[in-house]
Structure 1
Amino acid sequence: MFSNRDGRETGLKRQRVPDPSPSFLITIPGSSFVYGNAASFGYMGNPLPFPVVRLRGLPFDCTELDILEFFQGLDIVDILFVHKSGRFSGEAFCVLAYPLQVDFAIQKNRQNMGRRYVEVFRSQRQEYYFAVAQEVSEGRAGSPRRAPPRTRLGDEAKESSEHTGVLRMRGLPFSAGKEDILEFFKDFHLSEDNIFIVVNFDGRATGEAFVDFGSAEDSKLAMTRDRMMLGSRYIELFPSATKEMDYAISKGK
């Protein structure tokens, strides 16, 4: 993981490059999950293409969270902001979980992010890794990562949400285990039985987890940890419920 001095990541997260297995799960925005296989999408006998798109025309105060919201419904593996002469260029690479999701990402071409329309077009593995190497060679590595700024509406929504004792965590390192989450909430009386790490259909971590604090009072207190760091990642916390937790866990089974 690399970060530049203004907080944008410039290096690789733990890669979840698509596994060219016979079948896979595709998330289509606005619809339920769709199962497919390599043959049905024209990949049988051919190597799966590397699922990366390039974005151009991004706002210069763009954050990783803005891109996640722009591609809402798609599975984002990595975001790389591109710099020129030490300044953010308005371009970024976005690696997706599955090749078919590139088609849905392209549908966002020339849609607005704030007051600017953003161009989205296909890219290649070599272009992405070349950009990673450029960021590293220019010395934007090792600085602490800064969380995106809080938004008034987002904070108000969290504050007004009813607490049931369950919190959803988002933004976890893919390597994080239950012991890391226990350390993150070390001021609370929790055990590994209170923690549920969400995985996708092939058993890979999604970067989300649910924590059952047992009482609404404790989960509300735990919200003071919102946007705190776990390793090199800031963690977002959201009030949740047992029903949402059970559903998320069942999707990985």
Structure 2
Amino acid sequence: MGPKRQRVIDQGSSFYGTPPGSSFMYNPPPYSYISQIPPFPVVRLHGLPFDCSEVDIAEFFHGLDIVDILFVHKNGKFSGEAYCVLAYSIQVDFALQRNRQNIGRRYVEVFRCKRQEYYKAIANEVSDSHGGSPHRNVSRAKSSDNGKESAEHTGVLRLRGLPFSASKEDIMDFFKDFVISEDAIHIIINSEGRPTGEAFVGFASAEDSKAAMSKDRKRLEIAI
């Protein structure tokens, strides 16, 4: 298992930071997290301008701590959608207040995002990464500089060097000390329908994904 896909780094820092003198006014969150599971710290944006950049999104969410941005591509072209990773779960509510606000001349829709939806988006982008994209390069370059911390806050790990015949059952057995469902495992397939030797695995918690790092560079046995 090699370097993981960088998603969320230490909550005390941000790739984008907060602009000096930020005066972003927060309204109180609509509900308390005391008795509920905090929302997954990612929102999905729809209707972005096709020349949209990470800087545009950082300005759109002025005052929030943005950790990473994933632009979505279809057939090698930017689709107008993106996922924005925030440093804190509570900031999801604040990000949703930007729904139907404008970037340039286009209003942008902001939605809550489920954990599995985000993982699948990452998997699709990795599978399509051979074509390259100006929207993709910046965040990936930053990700490679922080690979050690990747995914430890969102609970997802990226596996590399898997046998091409590895199945979800094999991966679940590899991580048998943890509770993992088949739906939380995404094996990357290339454009020819063949496994690439990579997969994403979602764990029940950030603590589990961090503990699972003890399996790094261990041998995965294939069931016969």
Using structure 2 for the length normalisation, give the TM-score.
0.48
Larger Rg: 1
Bigger strand share: 1
Please give the TM-score of this superposition, normalised by the length of structure 1.
0.43
